[in-house]
Amino acid sequence: MDRFNVVNLLDFIDVEGLESASKLLSDFSCPLNKEIENFAHKNALEFANRKISMTYLVLTESGDMVGFFSLTHKAIQVKRDILSSTSRRRMERYANLDESTGCYTVSAFLIAQLSKNFTSFNNLQITGDELMELIFDVLGDLQRRIGGGVTFLECEEKPQLLKFYRHGKFSFMDFATRYSERENTKYIQLLRFF
């Protein structure tokens, strides 16, 4: 996928300057998910500077932003009961089982945001699978550097999105649900081993 360049937001700022980075992010549009659009417009820069999560811009050769994703890491709890015996063996490489609760606690990579850019000029040049492939290139590099083997994400209960995660090229599996405190929105939590 040489037609796209994945650039760490802070590296982009070092080379191109803060103004160019702000412009790319403020031009980002995602009518399907205003939360992601808001993140790009209001949080991505601050979160990167404060190392809360790191944003990666996906750019064409001519510098158009076709999408972005943001990564961080977080401990999660996964019930032993929901995993197959193969998945339990894989989990046990990275996790501790608390016998009293029947839950594994594992430090996992979190795909905190991912989205194509829906601004009309870029004409949707990337697919979800391509975006995910670029994400796992970055995560694969992290894994080689520091270890780890579990990746997770959270998704609203939307059938098409869930289909993309569960049955797409990268097949994530459900492991829990969570309700956001403020809006009481339900999120399905999904994980994947490398």
Q: Would you tell me which residues interact with ligand COA (CB under 6 A)?
A: 30, 32-33, 36, 114-116, 127-128, 131, 155, 158, 160-161, 164
CB of 111 to ligand COA, least distance (A): 8
Q: How far apart are CA 96 and CA 104, in angstroms?
A: 5
- Which residue minimizes CB distance to ligand COA? 128
Q: How far apart are CA 187 and CA 194, in angstroms?
A: 22
Burial 52-88 (b: 16+ CB within 10 A, else e): ebbbbbbbeeeebbbbbbbbebeebebebeebeeebb
CB of 53 to ligand COA, least distance (A): 14
Are 55 and 7 spatial neighbours (Cβ–Cβ below 8 Å)? no
Residue closer to ligand COA, measured from CB, 101 or 185: 185
Q: How far apart are CA 82 and CA 100, in angstroms?
A: 16
* Half-sphere exposure in the Cβ direction for 87 (13 Å, CA): 16
Residue closer to ligand COA, measured from CB, 86 or 160: 160
Residue closer to ligand COA, measured from CB, 97 or 119: 119
Residue closer to ligand COA, measured from CB, 54 or 162: 162
Residue 163: strand pairing partners? none
> Of 131, 122, 107, 149, which is closest to residue 58 (Cα–Cα)?
131
CB of 128 to ligand COA, least distance (A): 2
Residue closer to ligand COA, measured from CB, 7 or 114: 114
CB of 47 to ligand COA, least distance (A): 16
CB of 156 to ligand COA, least distance (A): 7
